[in-house]
Amino acid sequence: MLKFILCATLAASLPMAARAADFELIEWRGKTVLQMTGQIDTGTTDKFVAVADKTEPAAHGLPILLLDSPGGSVLEALKLSTALDDRPFHTVIPDGAACASACASIVFIAGRYRTMEAFGRFGQHSCSYGGVEDADCNEIISQHAFRHGVSHGSVAAFLTYVPAADILWFSREDIDGWGISHYPGSEDSGFEKSEPRAIGMITGNIPEGQSSWRLDFWGNGWRAFVRPARDDERELQISMYCREKMPGRLFLLAELTGPEEVISSAIASASLKTDTFTIEQVKPNVSQIDPLVTGLTIEIPKAHVIPWLTNVQNFELSFAVVPPYDPIWATGSLAGSRKNLIFAANHCDI
């Protein structure tokens, strides 16, 4: 009991003038979602409970809670986590937002699903009391993470070694690599808990990516995605999506790091080979997705859409390049991921 009382008095090292947390229903990616902004303090949980039931579930079955907070009271964050256990949400750190300290290590992790967009920020550091790091509080937070499906060490390591006066900021690849995120569709495709960063640190070897398609937001709709190289990297991530204005059509998108003009000049053609059909020598559409990544898109012809969704077991997506670049290819499986693929095909970008 002493440890819990001590932890309850702690707050992150934040400016005293930080605005108290508030909740607001907003439109985001074509959905009505709940947004939390500001510092977590006494009364934050009551504010959440007052509006939680007004948030409608998104298409994947859970309401969405956007997080943009510097953290705050550990006790209040743990109370908010309990409320999220009773009323599950998909916690999201959107582009341009930062979720740090108790927001990251407690509230974000309390989400049934938890994802961060490419340009969100997730920050961790140690608890402190009177300016002194507090190991008991760090352990309580790490045990909370473990109870919510995150490995104890994926939180404890950073709480222990990052001073309270500092913040260690994580990218999306970092939280994916340490097994902190949890994407919709993981259970439906048999995606196993993945911690390539930890495994790489311990063994020196990074495990290959799993052939399990998960779900993520895409515009105002959804996409199914698979990462053939490794579970935490966008490089050569393959996504399947559709557009509401183009009924009956499906698209495959491969992501490559680099500017559009360089990648466009290097790519000669694309091909998709499956155990059911083959699409040869297609010129992909090349477009800059964001400042870091360029996308290569090909269409699955209408005649092959149903076979792709229902019959194809294995595929190889390859890109022929001009010298001196090396060919690019990825292989994968659709078996076991039908539910997620069909979900994405039925929830197109509007």
State the pairing for strand pair 121-124/168-170.
Answer: antiparallel
> How far is Cα 214 from Cα 206, in angstroms, rounded to an integer?
20
Q: Output the average pLDDT for the chain.
A: 93
**pLDDT bucket at 349, cuts 50 / 70 / 90:** very high
DSSP state of 107: I
> Tens digit of pLDDT for each residue in 151-186?
999 999 999 999 999 999 999 999 999 999 999 999
What average pLDDT score do residues 82-88 get?
98
pLDDT for residue 325 is more than 80:
yes
- The pLDDT of residue 10 is 44
- Going from N- to C-terminal start, the domains of the chain cover 2-182, 214-346
What average pLDDT score do residues 92-110 get?
98
- Phi, psi for 26 (deg, rounded to 5): -135, 165
Instruction: Say which CATH topology domain 2-182 has.
Output: 2-enoyl-CoA Hydratase; Chain A, domain 1 (3.90.226)
- The pLDDT of residue 281 is 83
Tokens for 337? 């991921």
> Tens digit of pLDDT for each residue in 6-32?
344 344 444 445 789 999 999 999 999
- The pLDDT of residue 346 is 97
Local structure of 316: helix, strand or coil: strand
Phi-psi region of 192 (alpha: psi -120 to 50; beta: other; left: phi over 0): beta
Instruction: Say which CATH topology domain 214-346 has.
Output: Immunoglobulin-like (2.60.40)
